[in-house]
Amino acid sequence: MVTAQPGNDAFVVFDHVQKSYDGQTLVVKDLNLTIGKGEFLTMLGPSGSGKTTCLMMLAGFETATHGEIRLDGKNINDVPPHKRGIGMVFQNYALFPHMTVGENLSFPLEVRGMTKSERESRIARALDMVQMGQFKNRRPAQLSGGQQQRIALARALVFDPKLVLMDEPLGALDKQLREHMQFEIKALHDRLGITVVYVTHDQGEALTMSDRIAVFNDGRIQQLAPPAVLYEQPENSFVAGFIGENNALRGKIEQLQDDKALVRLGNGDLIDATAVNIRETGQETTVSIRPERVEFKPELMPAGAHTLEAHVVDVIYMGDILRARLKVAGQDDFVMKYRNTLGQVKLTPGQTIRIGWHPEDARALDPV
Amino acid sequence: MAKALDPHAAIVTEAAGPDEGGTLRTADGRPLKQALVRSSRRARRRAFLLVLPLLLFILITFVVPIGQMLQRSVKNDGFSANMPSLSAWFHENPRGTEPDDAAWAALAEDLQAAAKARTIGVVGTRINYDMPGTRSLFTSAGRKARSGVEPPYKEAILEMDQKWGDPKLWSVMREASSPYTSNFYLAAVDRTRDEQGDIVSAPAQQQIYVKLFMRTFWLSLVITFMTFLLGFPIAHLLATLPMRRSNLLMILVLLPFWTSLLVRTTAWMVLLQQQGVVNDVLVWLGVIGNNQRLQMIFNQTGTIIAMTHILLPFMILPLYSVMRTINPSYVRAARSLGATSWTAFRRIYFPQTLPGLGAGALLVFILAVGYYITPALVGGSSGQLISNMIAMHMTQTLNWSMAAALAALLLAGVLVLYWVYDRLVGIDNLKLG
Ligand SMILES: Nc1ncnc2c1ncn2[C@@H]1O[C@H](COP(=O)(O)OP(=O)(O)OP(=O)(O)O)[C@@H](O)[C@H]1O
Ligand SMILES: [Mg+2]
C-alpha cells in the first residue's frame, strides 16, 4: 500500500472551514484537514454529519461560509467548479442519459477543446482501464449498475484530473460487486497516483481502501488517522463506537499515574485502562475494549491484572470465531470474541468466568 | 419501444447456440424468433381487450363523426336530389351541349315540383355556393312556377329572369347535378371552375382561404414559440423550487384554466386597449407619445397575446413533468467535467428536456391551429384564423360542406405535421407527463 506522508506536500487544505446553509446552524464546524498528494483519504461518518457538504465545497458546488480551501497551494474559494479540474464520481453516477458511453467520456475532452484523434485515443485508454472497451456505443440505460459505475469512474479520470472526489460511489451496488469495485478503485489509485477523496458511511469500505480516514460527526472531524490506528487507538468514545465492534464500560477514575488509570465501575469493581482523553481522578469515563482483546484464560492475562466476574448469556458459533455475550458489571451487552481452535474451552450459557485484558487494550475515553 | 431486457426473453434463456443454419433455437428446437412472437402474442391480446372499451368510444364519438364530416365535404345532393329531371338531362348530354327543349322542359318541371315540395330554397342555396347571388333567382322562379309554367318553356322561363340564359349558371347546375363534387375543396384553396369546367383561380376579391391558412399556421408557430420562451424558465423554476412554493406557482400557472373566458377577455381589454393600462404606463414612462398609443387588441397582436396566455400551461406542464425527473447531479457532473454553466445547460440539460418540449410544442401548435373562440373575441379582423371561417360557415352561411372541406384540410395539415415530427424527432420521444 502506498502510504502518503500527510503534510509533506499539502495538496488539498481545508483551513478553518465552516459551512451553514440556513444561517442558524453550522453543518461544518471549523474543519481543518490537509490531504497529501497521491493520498487516498476517506471521509467516514453517520448520515448528516457533513461529508457531502465538504465534498461539494471542494468541488465548488457549495461555498464555504467561512475559511479557506486551497488546492495545490492556491485558494479556490472563488474558482467556479468547471475551472477546478477536479474529477467527480456521483452516487447515482450521473451518466448523461442522452449520450452514449463514448460521448459521455468525450464530453470533458470536448469542452477542453481537444482534437478528435486525441479524444479517441484517450477514450479508448480510459475504457480499457475499466475493462469496458466494447461498450463504447451503448447508452447508460443499457448498462448494469456495476458497468455504469465503471463508466462513471472512467469519465472522472479521462481528462487526467489530479484530484478525484467520490461520493458514496458504490452505495447502489450489491455486496459482492461492491467488494470487487473497491479493489479495482484502489488498484487504479495506486497505478495512476491520483489523489482521491472518498465519502462513505460503510466502515468496512473505509478500512480496506484508505490511506487515512477522517471520521466525521456533528460537523467535526473526530479523528484523522490510518485505518489500523483508528481501530486500535480510537481517541474518543464516538470513534470507538463507530468503528468496529466495541465494549463500553462506564465508571469513574480512581487513580491516575501518567497514562495508567484505575477505573471503578458502577458495581464497585476495579479495572485497568490506558488514559486517553481524561485529565484528573474523579472524572467520569467510558472504557472501551475491543471484543477480540478480552481474555478469559488467566494464563493469557498480564500478571497482577484486575479481573471482572462475567456471566455467559449466550454463545454464537460464527465459524472462524465464537462470540459470547456476557453480563459484566450490570451490563448484559458485553461481547467477547475468541478463536475457534482445536481444543478451545467450551463456554455454556449460565456459566460464570473471570475476564481481563492488557491495560493498553482498554482505553479510558470521554463519558458518553 | 425496444427494451434492452425483454421479459419474454426469459423463456428462451436455455436456448441452444446457433445451429448449422445460423438461427438461434429454443431448448425444444423451435426457432427463437417464432417462440418470442408466440410468447408475446397472448400478452398483446390481453392488452387489446383492456383498451377495447376506449376504442369503441373513440370510434363512436370521434372516427364516425369525422368520417361523416369528410363525406359531407365532397357530397352535397341539394340540387341533384330536388331537381331529378334536369339532373338526368345533364347526365345524358355531355358538357358543351346547348340546353335544348328537353332541358328547358325538365327545368320547368323540376322548378314546379321543387316549389310545391318547398325545397326550391335548398336548390338555390346549393347553386349559390358555387355562384354567389343566384339564390333569389331560384326562389323567385319557384314562386312564379307554382302557378304553372306553360310551353314554350324556354321563353317562359327567360321571361321570369334573363339570367336563366347565363351559360355559367348552366355550367354550375351541371356540376351540382352529381351529388359528389370536389368544388368545396377547390373553393377552400381559392380555386373555382370556369364555364368549361376547368380549374382556375377564384376572382381576386374572393381569395381568402389560402391566406387564412397561411396566417393560421404562421400565428400558431409564433404562439408556440412564445409559449416556449415564456414557459421554459417557469417550468424550470417549478421543477427546482421547494415543494410548497412550487405548488403556489403551479396554481398561478393553471389560473388561466380556471377563469371564465369572459373574465379573461375583459381583463385583456382593460390591459391592452388603446386607453388601457399598458398603453397608459407606456405613455406615462414616455416610451410612446399620447398620440402614438399602440393598437394591441382586436388585431393579430391581440390574438397572439391572448392565445399565448391561454395555451401557456400546455407548454409548461409537459416541460415541468420532464424537468422534475432530471436529476440536478447531471448539470453538476457536467460542471465538474469542465463545462461552463451555459455549456452544461446547452449540451446536458436542454437535450434532456426535449421530450417535454416536443410534446408541449406539438400540443400548443395543434391546439392553436384549431383555436376559435379567443381569436373571435380579441382578434378583430386581422386576427381571425381559419377556424373562425369554419365556424362562420357552420353557423351563418350554413355551408356545411364548405366548413367540412376547410376542417378536413386543417386536419390533413395537422396530420402532416405529426408525420414530420415523427420523422424528425420520433413520436416515441414524446412525454406528456
Ligand atoms: N442544500 C441544503 N440546504 C440545507 N441544508 C442542507 C443542504 N444540504 C445538506 N444540508 C444539511 O446539512 C447537513 C449535512 O448534510 P450532508 O449531505 O453533508 O451529510 P452527509 O454526511 O453527506 O450525509 P449522508 O451520509 O446521509 O449522505 C444535514 O443536516 C443536511 O440536512
Ligand atoms: Mg452524503
- pLDDT digit string, tens, across residues A312-337: 999 999 999 999 999 998 888 999 99
Is the CB of residue A236 less than 8 Å from the CB of residue A365?
yes
Instruction: Give the other-Cβ count within 10 Å of A235's Cβ.
Output: 19
- Asked if B41 has any chain A CB less than 8 Å from its own CB, the reply is no
DSSP per-residue string spanning A95-109 = --TTS-HHHHHHHHH
Nearest to B333 among A90, A112, A142 (CB): A90
Is the CB of residue B294 less than 8 Å from the CB of residue B279?
yes
- Asked if B332 has any chain A CB less than 8 Å from its own CB, the reply is yes
Residue in B326, B325, B332, B340 with CA at minimum distance from that of residue A62: B332
| Spatial separation of the C-alpha atoms in residues A222 and A45, rounded to whole Å | 9
Q: Specify the long-range contacts of residues B174-177, CB closer than 8 Å, at least 24 apart.
A: B174/B90, B174/B95, B175/B130, B176/B76, B176/B78, B176/B79, B176/B80, B176/B126, B176/B127, B176/B130, B177/B79, B177/B80, B177/B83, B177/B86, B177/B87, B177/B90, B177/B91
DSSP per-residue string spanning B247-275 = HHHHHHHHHHHHS-HHHHHHHHHHHHSTT
Q: How confident is the model at residue B431 (pLDDT cuts 50, 70, 90)?
A: low
Q: How confident is the model at residue B432 (pLDDT cuts 50, 70, 90)?
A: low
| Spatial separation of the C-alpha atoms in residues B328 and B335, rounded to whole Å | 11
| Spatial separation of the C-alpha atoms in residues A184 and A129, rounded to whole Å | 10
For B97-121, b where at least 16 C-beta lie within 10 A, e where not — what string?
Answer: eebeeebbbbbbbbbbbbbeeebbb
What is B209-429's CATH number, 1.10.3720.10, 1.20.1250.20, 3.40.50.1820, 3.40.50.2300?
1.10.3720.10
What pLDDT does residue B22 have?
65
User: Which H helix or E strand runs over A367?
Assistant: none
Distances, alpha carbon A356 to alpha carbons A27, A274, B277, B412, in Å: 41, 14, 90, 92
Q: Give me chain B's average pLDDT, please.
A: 87
CATH 3.40.30.10 fits A245-365, yes or no: no
Pocket test for ligand 1, best of A14, A18, A21 (most atoms within 8 A of CB): A21
Q: A229 Cβ partners below 8 Å, 6+ apart?
A: none
- pLDDT digit string, tens, across residues B209-236: 999 999 999 999 999 999 999 999 999 9
The DSSP call for residue A25 is S
| Spatial separation of the C-alpha atoms in residues B167 and B172, rounded to whole Å | 9
What pLDDT does residue B14 have?
43
Q: Largest alpha-carbon pair distance within chain B?
A: 98
For B235-247, b where at least 16 C-beta lie within 10 A, e where not — what string?
Answer: bbbbbeeeeeebe
What pLDDT does residue B1 have?
39
Going by CA atoms, what residue is nearest to atom 10 of ligand 1?
A: A21
| Mean pLDDT value across residues A259-267 | 89
What's the whole-model pTM score?
Answer: 0.77
- pLDDT digit string, tens, across residues A21-50: 998 999 999 999 999 999 999 999 999 999
> Distance from the CA of A53 to the center of ligand 1, in angstroms?
6
> Distance from the CA of A51 to the center of ligand 2, in angstroms?
6
Q: Give me chain A's average pLDDT, please.
A: 91
Q: First-to-last CA distance in chain B? A: 17
Q: By mean pLDDT, which of A2-6, A50-54, B348-352 is the weakest?
A: A2-6
- pLDDT digit string, tens, across residues B381-412: 888 999 999 999 999 988 899 999 999 999 99
Task: Tell me: pLDDT of A288 over 90.
Answer: yes
Going by CA atoms, what residue is nearest to atom 6 of ligand 1?
A: A21
Nearest to B351 among A83, A88, A98 (CB): A98
For residue A247 and ligand 1, the question of a CB distance below 6 A is answered with no
Is the CB of residue A30 less than 8 Å from the CB of residue A4?
no
Q: By mean pLDDT, which of A89-93, A250-254, B143-147, B246-250 is the weakest?
A: B143-147
Q: Does the beta-carbon distance from A94 to B351 stay under 8 Å?
A: no
Which of B337, B348, B350 best probes binding to A when mutated, by most A CB atoms within 10 angstroms?
A: B337
Q: Provide the ipTM.
A: 0.81
- pLDDT digit string, tens, across residues A107-155: 999 999 999 999 999 999 999 988 899 999 999 999 998 899 999 999 9
> Distance from the CA of B235 to the center of ligand 1, in angstroms?
26
Going by CA atoms, what residue is nearest to atom 5 of ligand 1?
A: A21
User: Which H helix or E strand runs over A257?
Assistant: strand A247-257
| Mean pLDDT value across residues A199-213 | 92
Q: Please report residues of B whose CB lies closer than 8 A to that of A88.
A: 332-333, 336
Q: Please report residues of B whose CB lies closer than 8 A to that of A98.
A: 351-352
> Distance from the CA of A171 to the center of ligand 2, in angstroms?
11
The residue ranges of every structural domain in chain A are 12-232, 245-365
Q: Does the beta-carbon distance from B4 to A86 stay under 8 Å?
A: no
DSSP per-residue string spanning B79-144 = TTTT-HHHHHHHHHS-TTPPP-HHHHHHHHHHHHHHHHTT-HHHHHHHHHHHSTT-HHHHHHHHHH
| Mean pLDDT value across residues A202-230 | 93
Cell of B389: 371561417
Going by CA atoms, what residue is nearest to atom 22 of ligand 1?
A: A52
Q: Does the beta-carbon distance from A108 to B337 stay under 8 Å?
A: yes
Task: Tell me: pLDDT of A181 over 80.
Answer: yes
| Spatial separation of the C-alpha atoms in residues B301 and A199, rounded to whole Å | 57
The residue ranges of every structural domain in chain B are 7-72, 84-206, 209-429
Which of B1, B332, B336, B345 best probes binding to A when mutated, by most A CB atoms within 10 angstroms?
A: B336
Q: Does the beta-carbon distance from B337 to A141 stay under 8 Å?
A: no
For residue A217 and ligand 1, the question of a CB distance below 6 A is answered with no
Helix ranges (H only) for B325-399 are 328-336, 341-343, 350-369, 373-378, 386-395
Is the CB of residue A129 less than 8 Å from the CB of residue A120?
no
> Distance from the CA of B407 to the center of ligand 2, in angstroms?
58
Task: Label the pairing between strands A163-167 and A86-89.
Answer: parallel
Residue in A72, A85, A84, A86 with CA at minimum distance from that of residue A11: A72
What pLDDT does residue A97 have?
93
Query: Which B residues, 336 through 375, put their C-beta within 8 Å of a C-beta on chain A?
Result: 336-341, 343-344, 347-348, 351-352
Task: Tell me: pLDDT of A3 over 50.
Answer: no
* Three-state secondary structure call for residue B30: coil
- Asked if A187 has any chain B CB less than 8 Å from its own CB, the reply is no
Fold for domain A12-232?
A: Rossmann fold (3.40.50)
Q: B123 Cβ partners below 8 Å, 6+ apart?
A: B78, B79, B82, B83, B114, B138
Nearest to B327 among A94, A155, A159 (CB): A94
- How close A272 gets to chain B, by Cα (Å)? 52
